[in-house]
Structure 1
C-alpha cells in the first residue's frame, strides 16, 4: 500500500456529526490500492485491567473513486457520544493500522494517543441547514428582465420589451408587478423557491452597485409591492431569497461620495479600503474594489460602523418582509468574523433562513456550521457542462469529478448545495450546448436527479439562448408561440418526479455504477432503504448498447419516464440522447 496516499483528518469533511447521535467518517487511499478497510473504534475511557482499551471493528464501504483516489465511508453511533478510532487497511500482501501518529502493524490497546479522537458529539455543533431547502427547486430571476408589470415605473430611456438585444446599460422596465403577474407560471412549472438578483436602489440595470441597502430601487416598485410579492409567493408555496452585496457598495453610495468629496476629512474614510488621497480612478483605482471596477468600492467589514450597518440590513429584510434567505455576492472576499456574526443575526431573526455564499472554489472554511449553509456549486456546474454540453469530458472523467464534488463537503452540506447550470454571470445552457436541445434535456435530467437543491435560470426551461453577460440577460419570453413548450413540459415532468419519488431528489444516496470513456455512456443509481432508481443515459448522437451492472441483471423494473415495464438482461440499447429511469 502507498502510505503517502492514505489520508484522514478528524474534522471537516472527513469526520463530522451528521446528527446528534451519528458520526460520519471518511478515509482516502490510493485508487485500487486497498481491498478492505475496517474502522477500529471505542469509547476513550473504556478500559479493562487485563486487556487494556476496549474496541470493536466495523467494515467501511468504498463511497467513490476518482482518477487518483478511493474514498471509504462508515457511520457510527458512539453510545456515549465520544470516540477514539483508527483504520485497519488490508490488501493481498499486508495489513496495517492507521492512526493520528502514523502506522502500526497491529492495533494497540495501550497507547490511546495513537488513535484519532472525536472528543464529544455536542448537539450545538451539529451542522443543521434548513430542512425545507432539501426539497426546494429554485428559479433565478433577474428582475429587470423578467416582466414589466407597471410601465409607470419605467426608468428614463426604457425601451419596449424584447425590442433590442440586452446591453450593459439598457433598461426594459422589469419590476415586482411583472413577477407577481407570472407567479402562476412558476407554480405550473413546479418551482418552490425564487432567487432574485439585487433589488436595492442602484445605478445600473443589474443592481450590484448598491446606493441604499434599506431602499428598493424605484424601477421595481415600493416596499408595499415587495411585501405583496413575498406574501403572494408564500401563499403559493414559494420561498424568496434575496441577493446581498456586502463585499462592496456602489459608486453613488452616500458614504463613498462623502469620501470622494472630503478625502481624509471624511467621517466615512475608514468604511473603505483607501490607500492614499485624493482618491483616483484611473488608470487603476487607488482604493480597493471588486476586481478593478472603480464603481464598486470594497467595504471595510472590520469597521464596527460598517458591520453594524450591514448586519442591520441583514436583519431588516428578514424581520420586516419575511424573506427566506440571503445569497451573498463575492462572499469569499469578506472576513470570516463578519459572516459568523451575520449568521447569528439572520438565524436569530428567522431560524430556518437559508444562507448561501457565492464562492467558485473549495469552500470548506465557510461551511463548518458557523457561517453559510451552502455555496453555489460551480464545480458541479463546470463538470456537468463539460460532459453533457461541451463534450470536453468523457463519462469516466465526469464520474471522477462527481466523486470529488460529493467528497468536498459533509453530507449535510451536500444536501443543500445550490446546484445551478447557468446564471446571470454565465452563457445560457442552450448556447453552451451549441443550441442542441437534446443536450439541454440531459443536463436538466442530471441536475434534477442529483444531490442538492437545483436552480433553473429564468427562461432556460423554454430554451432561451444568450452568450456571456449581457447576452444571458435577455427579456423573458412571454408569448407562448415563441416559447419552447416541449422543453417546458420536459422540465416540469422532471420536477414532478423529484416531488413524487423522494429518492429521485435528495432522499437517497448517489453512486455512479458505469462510466464508459469510449462509448461515453453513464449509469448511476439513487437509492435508500425502500427504493432504487437506476438512471441509464446515452448523451451521444449515436445508438449505444449499454451493459447493465451485474447486480441489476434479470430484474424487472418500471421506467418511471415512459411507464414501460422492463426486463433488463445483460444490456440495454438506447438511441441518441435517450435515457431510462428504472424503478425497482
Structure 2
C-alpha cells in the first residue's frame, strides 16, 4: 500500500452522469469536450476535505461505461486525451490524486476483439480472449454462445486464462498510470480469478510501485482476496450494509458485529469504506430517519479505512437505485456547471462532512484505528476508536429519549452535541434524542 493513501479521502464522481452525457454513444459521434466540466468542482472537493478524485468509467464505451469498446481511448462523450491530461494537471495542482475505474472482467459487444469473433468465427485471431461455445457447422458470421457478466448479454466475459488477456489488461493499466493516474479501482474484481490479478498486478507494480489498487468485492473472503491478488484493498460492503441497516432497524448489535469483523480485516489490509457509491441507493434515501445521517457519517469518518464520499451525498442528494433498464439514472444525475448552483438545503450536510473530515485530518491514525465496544444496546452505542496510544470515543443515541452514556477518560467533545458529566463511576456524556458526539480521550 502506498504511503500517500494513509491520508486520502476520496470524492467519487460518475463522469458520464455528472456531465450529462448521452446515455448511448453513437459509433461515429464527434468528440464533445465535457471532462472540463469537472474542473469547476475541484476546489469544491478540496474545500470539502477530499484529497483524491475517484472517477467512474471514462473510456470509450457503448452506454454506461462498463461496456468498454476501447480502453485506450477517452469516451468521446467526455473528450479526448488532451482533456484527460488537463484534468490530471488541474487535480494534481490541488493535491488531488486520481483513481480510475478499470473494467477488466468483461468488454462490450462492440469491442473490436469480439466483433472480430462475430465476423470471422472460430478462426478469429482473438477468439481465445473469450469463453465461446460454437454451434455445429459453424461458418463465418455465425454467433457463438458466450459467457457474459451476471446474465447481461451486452457484457462479454473475458477469458482470464488466456495470456494475451493478461498482457492486454496490464498494458491498459500501465498506459493510464504513465499518463498521470495514481491508481485503479478494479470493477467486478470478485468475478475474476485471483491468479489473474496476481499475474497482472505484479507486472503493473514493477513499473508503478506507488499505484493504489482497490478491488470491487461485495462479499466473501476479503483478506484472502487481498493476500492472493496483490491488491491494496477491497470495498467494504459488509460495513456499508451494517451501517444503514443497523440504524434503520434500531439494531446497533448488527453494526457492532460488523465493526468487530472490520477489526479483523484491518489486521490484513485497510478497506475502502463508504456509505454510498454509484451502484447503490443514496444514503439519504436509504435511511428511514434522516436525523440519523450524522450517525452514519460519524462511523464512516472515525473507523479504520480509506473513506470515499459519493458526489452528491455530501449535499444529502436523494436517489433510489431500481433493478430495471435506466434504474441507475436517479443515483447518477447531472450536476450543475458550478457548486454555486446547488440547492441550498444540502449545505448543512456539506459542512458536517467538512467537520468530520477535519477531525480525521487532526487524527490521521484513524486510518488504521480499531474499534472497541464500551456500551451496546439496541439504540445506543459507545465505541472507542483506538490506535495506541490514541483514542476517540463515538457515542450514538437512536432513541426518541435523552440518554446518559459512559465515555471513560473522555475529556471533551470534538464534534457533535452533548454534555460531559463527571460522576463517581466515571465520565458520562448526555445526549439528546437522536444525539451523537465524538469525544477526545
TM (norm. structure 2) is 0.88
- Deviation digits for residues 350-393 of structure 1 (CA, Å, limit 9, x no counterpart): 212111111111223321165211111101111111112x32x6
2:414 counterpart of 1:560? yes
User: 2:395, 2:438 within 8 Å by CA — same for their partners in 1?
Assistant: yes
Partner of 1:582: 439
Counterpart mapping for 1:115-514 below 5 A:
129-147=1-19, 175-204=34-63, 206-277=64-135, 286-319=145-178, 321-362=179-220, 363-368=222-227, 370-388=229-247, 390-391=248-249, 394-407=251-264, 409-413=265-269, 416-434=270-288, 436-468=289-321, 469-476=328-335, 478=339, 479-503=341-365, 505-506=366-367, 508-514=369-375
Q: Distance in 1 between matches of 2:24 and 2:223?
A: 45
Q: Report if the CA contact (8 A) 2:374-2:382 is conserved.
A: yes
- Describe the shift of the 1:465–1:564 C-alpha distance in structure 2 as closer, same or farther (beyond 3 A): closer
CA distance in 1, matches of 2:113, 2:363: 52
Rounded Cα–Cα distance in structure 1 between residues aligned with 2:346 and 2:434:
18
Contact 1:458–1:476 under 8 Å retained in 2: no
Q: What whole-Å deviation, never above 9, does each CA across 1:19-53 have from its counterpart, x for those lacking one?
A: xxxxxxxxxxxxxxxxxxxxxxxxxxxxxxxxxxx
Secondary structure in structure 2 of the residue aligned to 1:386: helix
Q: Considering only CA atoms, is the larger Rg found in Structure 1 or Structure 2? A: 1
User: In 1, Cα distance between the equivalents of 2:132 and 2:19?
Assistant: 40
1:156 deviates by 9.4
Closer, same or farther: CA 156–548 of 1 in aligned 2, 3 Å: closer
SS in 1 for 2:156: coil
Residues of 1 paired with 2:223 and 2:387: CA distance?
A: 27
Change (3 A) 1:220 1:514: same
The question of whether the paired residues in 2 share the 8 Å contact of 1:336 and 1:371 is answered with no
Distance 1:177 1:184 in 2: 13
Q: 1:556 to 1:246 in 2, by over 3 A?
A: closer
**Once superposed, what is the RMSD of the aligned Cα atoms?**
2.4
1:115-144 alpha-carbon deviations (Å, 9 max, x no partner):
xxxxxxxxxxxxxx1222122111110002
SS at 1:313 equivalent:
helix
1:543/1:573 contact within 8 Å kept: no
Partners of 2:18 and 2:332 within 8 A in 1: no
Looking at structure 2, the residues matched to 528 and 292 of structure 1 have their Cα atoms a distance apart, in angstroms, of: 44
Q: Which structure has greater helix proportion?
A: 2
CA distance in 2, matches of 1:228, 1:316: 16
For 2:79 and 2:303, locate their aligned partners in 1 and report how far apart those are by CA, in whole Å: 37
* Residues 298-307 or 446-455, more deviating: 298-307
Q: Aligned-pair distance for 1:233?
A: 1.1
Structure 1's 156 and 484: CA in aligned 2 closer, same or farther, altered over 3 A? closer
Kept in 2, the 8 Å contact 1:247–1:331? The answer is yes
8 Å CA contact 2:34–2:77 kept in 1: the answer is yes
Q: Would you say the 8 A contact 1:381–1:419 is kept in 2?
A: yes
C-alpha displacement of 1:508: 3.6
1:228–1:547 Cα change, 3 Å: same
Deviation, 1:264, is 1.7
| Count of equivalent residues | 418
The 8 Å contact of residues 143 and 174 in structure 1, kept in 2 or not, is answered as no
1:502–1:311 Cα change, 3 Å: closer
Match of 2:376 in 1: 515
In the alignment, the residues of structure 1 paired with residue 258 and residue 334 of structure 2 have an alpha-carbon distance, to the nearest angstrom, of 34
State how far apart, in whole Å, the 2-side matches of 1:404 and 1:577 are: 26
Listed as ranges, the gaps of 5+ residues in structure 1 are 1-128, 149-153, 159-172
Q: Closer, same or farther in 2 for the Cα pair 1:563/1:531, shift >3 Å?
A: farther
